[in-house]
Chain A
Amino acid sequence: MSGGDGGTRRIETGYLSRVEGEGAMHVRLRGDEVLGVELRIYEPPRFFEALLRGRALGEAPDITARICGICPVAYQTSACQAMEDALGIEVGGQLRDLRRLIYCGEWIQSHSLHLYLLHAPDFLGYESGFAMARDHREVVERGLRAKKAGNRLIAAVGGREVHPVNVRVGGFYRAPERRELEGLVAELERCRSEALETVRWTAGLDFPELERDYELVSLRSPLEGEYPIDRGRIVSSKGIDVAAAEFDDTFEEEQVAHSTALHARVRARGSYLTGPMARFNLNRGRLSPLAAEAAREAGIGDGSLNPFRSIVVRAVEILYAFDEALRLIDAYERPDTPAVEFEPRAAVGHGVSEAPRGLLYHRYEITEAGEIASAWIVPPTSQNQRSIEEDLREFVAANTHLPDEELRHRCEQTIRNYDPCISCSTHFLTLEVERE
């Protein structure tokens, strides 16, 4: 919907499409001046942090997976690591590699879904991936093959694509046989070659202009030369370098009236950006040679702060995830035990990992009996909300000359740059532009 009322210009999208979950946008303009931008998340809250209290610590990975059907592995990983931190156990070697492997599957599946079916249609002027497939069938089919390969990888390690059953605190219920993973290699190799094509294809799209001085926040792996997925310290482009346990000292969340998702920011500073753009710009020297070369060829070898180019960055990360999965499978030897055993103790634990959309932080307080006393979960979309609103504000200010319908579409695209996953508002989005 768009319209004016007494000199007011108002552009709104009441229910944003091609995002996961329910949200809306509201923009108010007076002439060329942007009066207000609100990203409204109206996803009904499900109160995960409240319902986790009193549950057994071992239930956290399965319960928190249900926060998001698109990135359950991220929730399971952060939950497991937070519990392991509290219990004082270390999950290393092949078990840690398996965790990284299933996570590669989730990056491939989630990024492919977003890139081909949700985001690319914006660049080519289609309403959906289905409509795009009528003219670009080969491209969409390539995307679906990549997505399927990612899903098969998740299922091979986790039992099924959505809400895997095989992940537990300490590791896994059953470690896969080497031959089960080897069976995936031919498909992963083919999809890796196609992923290179995808990077080239996205590099040829038209990118609207927008660049801001973001504070980029991502993990940095303790291993030199390892791109962050499952672990690391939290670092930023403006000097943050802290352990997961210092999350609360570094960031804060606040509630705003127009959203059921809390807004996060760097304490005493402001908004920040997490997700593929942040990971890539802060860690591009840690990509595999194949992915680094593809990024250079695509023109982002020295980094990029244009959020519309996030589609190229996701393509590079898909390529990297295929490459990394193949490396991990090649090195895999089935561990003797599928998990590290533990004894409950009263403690507080912190866990953080790189969900496809960015940093995902969990903190739990557990009792001596092994029950959850309190839970705090900060999903990527709540961290990016403020940054999305600032992108919208700047983009609208530079493009007030556009007719309402085109401006509205571009605003939606600006939001989709973030692949916002609204159902993960453990704590809830519609688009509206109002011109005065």
Chain B
Amino acid sequence: MAATGSRPKLAVWKFASCDGCQLSILDLEDELLMLAEEIEIAYFMEASRATVEGPYDLSLVEGSVTTAADAERIREVRRVSRRLVTIGACATAGGIQALRNFADVGEFVSAVYASPSYISTLETSTPISENVSVDYELHGCPIDKRQLLEVISAFLAQRAPAIPSYSVCVECKRRGNVCVTVAHGTPCLGPVTHAGCGALCPAHDRGCYGCFGPMETPNTASLSAWTRGLGAETSDLIRAYRSFNANAPAFRAASELEEGR
């Protein structure tokens, strides 16, 4: 263990989100106390009252930017962070709350609040990368805690994280899952979705619903055609692409293509 003062400083920041991705840090039950010895947890409001001033060696950012104040705050976070890694679908793609990007946010506010004037919000929910430069983006809604540990270890060792960029299909083959589409005709976003979950849904007899967002080079046009062949309607396809990663460019384009039909 390094002596206090020379340990790298970690900060965890929250923007619009469900807290699930930062919870993944606390869900590292076997490694958590060791981690707290190896690195200085300098800013992590969900877990600690104590805060240490920046700059921070590594900032993990959860959540998307949805208010003017948060758009300002993320610039400050970037300024005090040597490395900035986004964790999860909200920070990486805008999250489920980015469904407002396809609608009228004013109408959304009126639908939920009796006095809309008390609420200040931006018209869009944007990923961190649309606001500041980011050093790495970890996918998932929620992220996988093993992948998170790999990213933290990699950045502290100043090496590239070993995170595969292939699709969920590869994970299914590795796990020995029977293909839910081929065997049961179940629609599945696995062919276009970024790996990382371990092909959880197909292992539970369910089609992938894309919570890790698009893989690097997704062929959504082909998948849409196949899914249509299984009896899916345009509205089903639009909903499938518009969930937790609706604003990720590849999924956004695929849903807009369907909408234009």
Contact = CB atoms under 8 A, between A and B. Distances in A.
A51 B23 contact: no
B185 to A, nearest CB: 15
B205 interface: yes
25 contacts: A18-B48, A20-B46, A43-B16, A44-B15, A46-B97, A46-B125, A47-B105, A47-B108, A49-B112, A51-B96, A59-B243, A66-B20, A66-B141, A121-B49, A127-B50, A130-B33, A130-B41, A131-B50, A137-B33, A159-B200, A159-B203, A160-B197, A162-B27, A174-B206, A260-B119
A371 B242 CA distance: 15
B10 to A, nearest CB: 11
B138 interface: no
A113 interface: yes
B107 interface: yes
A44 B27 contact: no
Nearest to B122: A44
A147 B97 CA distance: 29
Nearest to A258: B118
Interface of A: 15-22, 43-51, 53, 55-56, 59, 62-63, 66-70, 72, 113, 117-118, 121, 127-131, 133, 137, 140-141, 144-145, 147-148, 151, 159-163, 165-166, 168, 172-174, 254-255, 257, 260, 262, 338, 412, 421, 423, 426-427
A133 B36 contact: yes
B33 A141 contact: yes
B67 interface: yes
A145 B19 contact: no
Contacts of A50: 100, 103, 107-109, 111-112
Contacts of A162: 20-21, 23-24, 27, 142
Nearest to A409: B49
Contacts, number: 187
A130 B36 contact: yes
B129 interface: no
A17 B23 contact: no
Given A51-B96, A174-B205, A148 B30 contact: yes
A20 B18 CA distance: 9
B257 interface: no
Given A50-B107, A68-B18, A133-B33, A19 B46 contact: yes
Nearest to B115: A255
- Give 7 closest A-B pairs by Cβ, nearest first: A69-B20, A128-B48, A127-B50, A50-B108, A148-B29, A162-B142, A50-B111
Nearest to B201: A165
Nearest to A256: B118
A163 B211 contact: yes
Interface residues of B, number: 63
A376 B244 CA distance: 20
A114 to B, nearest CB: 11
A427 B29 contact: no
Given A21-B19, A113-B26, A44 B112 contact: no
Nearest to B99: A51
Contacts of A63: 96, 243
B261 interface: no
B18 A128 contact: no
Contacts of B131: none
Contact of A174 (B21, B97, B204): B204
B114 interface: yes
A66 B96 contact: yes
Contact of B206 (A66, A165, A254): A165
B147 interface: no
Given A46-B66, A151-B29, A159-B200, A255 B205 contact: no
B92 to A, nearest CB: 14
B96 A68 contact: no
A255 B79 CA distance: 36
Interface string B205-234: 110010100000000000000000000000
A255 B109 CA distance: 12
B45 A17 contact: yes
Interface in B21-63: 21-24, 26-27, 29-30, 32-33, 36, 41, 44-50
A69 B107 contact: no
A72 B20 contact: yes
B126 interface: no
